[in-house]
Amino acid sequence: MKGLLIFACFFWNGYAIAQQCPIVPFPNDVKTINGKLTLTVNTQIICDDDRINEQAIYLQQQILKTTGLTLSVGAKSTNSAITLKLENSIEGAEAYRLDVKPNGVNITAATAHGIFNGINSLLQLIRLSVVKNNNISITCWSIKDSPRFAWRGLLLDESRHYFGMEMVKELLDWMAFYKLNKFHWHLTDEPAWRLEIKAYPKLALTGGIGNFDDPKAPSQYYTQEQIKDVVAYAADRFIDVIPEIDMPGHASAANKAYPVFSGGGSTKHPEFTFNPGLDSTYSYLGRILRETDVLFQSQMVHLGGDEVSFGNEKWRTDPGVVKLMQDQHLADLTAVEHYFTARMADTLFQLNNKVLLWDEAADADLPRDKTLIFWWRHDHPEQLKKALDKGYFTILCPRLPFYFDFMQDSTQRLGRKWKGAIVTLDKLYAFNLNDLQVSNEHRHQIIGVQAGIWTEFITTKEKLEYMLFPRITALAEIGWTLDEKKSITGFHQRVLDQLKLYRKDGIYYYNPFKPQQTPEPLTARQVANLSE
């Protein structure tokens, strides 16, 4: 019933046509307008404001790329036009208005980011329209839109498997299309270190060797030039890139390159930690963070901080750590972990960066105004509560349903499950903050949501696409669209439209409506291992 409400009905030639706005994420205020607009080669993109000229060119390029139509950008209108205009009266850093009328399009916003969001809504309408004889006919709408959450993120783990520049840019393109605005790049972990650091070249050269399946795979990493390229590409799309340099755990690849800083590990996780009992560890990691800060413009670094207990047992007997515990009056290994995190966080604060950490760090008593906590352990709701009670701004990324390495279908053969649970598209879409029992007083501290593509079992581009598309659309709506505007029936309709775009673009997507049409892509080796 609720689903029906979002269908706007209008009459045309005497027929009632149920019409739903196809934009993903679904806009928070949308009305139908009678009639159609036809874009032709004579339609001009009008923009006489240098502050949004780049966005006008982005629109021009995307229209050419996706439809073949070449529109010119200029300051004066000839006939029908797409007009981009900054207007201070529109409230909200990312808010925009999009009016598509039979005689032209207006996109207005107070910021360039808002204009960019409006452009992406228009691009969605254009891409889903019919192009005939170089004419594009689009349905008319009046949209006033702004996001529910400021942080709408996606994490890609490239330590376990490396995907490379082309894949990263493809992800950034789709993120922009769906108004996702934070790219969390997990670049270091146990199998490999993927970021060139000039002061310590072996981090990439030696640490870059291997992946989750094959410890001997040739070194693969991002050079500093490539990082700058990605950061600029993302900035053009209003996406902040946040690097994650995981510490003091998940440090095995770094320790392979510079074993002198290793704090040891466990049988299952050898050489897993950095050594918090050595002073030189702090200056070593400090230099790494300084170079990282220069490369990334977001003024935020994620320091990980998760699962340290997987491999810190050697700390107990390490003379340096024992001395540190005595000198600093640290009662146990958790206190050592927090001491380490606080010291590294200080380095970031001196660089005018915020520190971002997984929810283990809610116990570490870092300054509230410079720390963001990522709640990932859905089975530890008390950790979310603690982060909020302590006043931290928090991002929700609970494994269930936000980890996209989890299976999405009972027929899937390779991927994670949580005690038998899988993450279907509908389960993900049903995610609701109200189920988390966050008090009203703390709601404003929840600044957003984020999904993670962890890649232990995602080894190819096809598999990555299969796990992400179309789940990325649900993520986008959870981040952007208000609960009362969401509807599962409307969403299914929108997803069906998006699947058409994936087909056009050659994306190996998963079809939630007809899973047998898009079988799970597995390599011959994976199939052989499964049947063993």
CB of 189 to ligand TNX, least distance (A): 7
Q: Where are the beta strands (DSSP E) in 160-239?
A: 182-186
Give me the amino acid identity at 358. W
Give the CA radius of gyration of the chain. Answer: 24
177, 358, 402, 429: which one binds ligand TNX (CB under 6 A)? 358
Helix (H, G, I), strand (E, B) or coil at 81: strand
Looking at the Cβ atoms of 245 and 324, the one nearer to ligand TNX is: 245
392, 403, 431, 510: which one binds ligand TNX (CB under 6 A)? 403
Looking at the Cβ atoms of 196 and 246, the one nearer to ligand TNX is: 246
Residues 140-169 that bind ligand TNX (CB under 6 A): 157
CB of 82 to ligand TNX, least distance (A): 42
Residues 451-470 that bind ligand TNX (CB under 6 A): 454, 456
376 binds ligand TNX (CB under 6 A): yes
Looking at the Cβ atoms of 400 and 436, the one nearer to ligand TNX is: 400
Residues 232-291 that bind ligand TNX (CB under 6 A): none
CB of 160 to ligand TNX, least distance (A): 7
Contact 206, 256 (CB under 8 A): yes
Looking at the Cβ atoms of 94 and 246, the one nearer to ligand TNX is: 246
Contact 477, 486 (CB under 8 A): yes
CB of 448 to ligand TNX, least distance (A): 16
CB of 399 to ligand TNX, least distance (A): 6
306, 465, 477, 520: which one binds ligand TNX (CB under 6 A)? 306
Looking at the Cβ atoms of 99 and 244, the one nearer to ligand TNX is: 244
Residues 415-444 that bind ligand TNX (CB under 6 A): 416
Distance CA 261, CA 239 (A): 34
Contacts of 350 (CB under 8 A, 6+ apart): none
β-pairing, 8-12 with 15-19?
antiparallel
Task: Return the HEC string of 137-171.
Answer: EEEEEEEEECCCCCEEEEEEECCCCCCCHHHHHHH
Looking at the Cβ atoms of 321 and 414, the one nearer to ligand TNX is: 414
Looking at the Cβ atoms of 96 and 185, the one nearer to ligand TNX is: 185
Task: Please compute, for residue 157, the number of CA atoms within 13 A of its CA located in the half-sphere on the CB side.
Answer: 25
Contacts of 165 (CB under 8 A, 6+ apart): 222, 226, 229, 230
Q: Per-residue DSSP letters for 2-63?
A: HHHHT-EEEEETTEEEEE----SSPPSSEEEEEEEEEE-TT-EEE---GGGHHHHHHHHHHH
How many helices and strands (H and E) does the chain possess?
A: 17, 18
Count of residues engaged in binding ligand TNX, rule: CB under 6 A: 10
Looking at the Cβ atoms of 96 and 193, the one nearer to ligand TNX is: 193
CB of 37 to ligand TNX, least distance (A): 45
Q: Which residues bind ligand TNX (CB under 6 A)?
A: 157, 306-307, 358, 376, 403, 405, 416, 454, 456
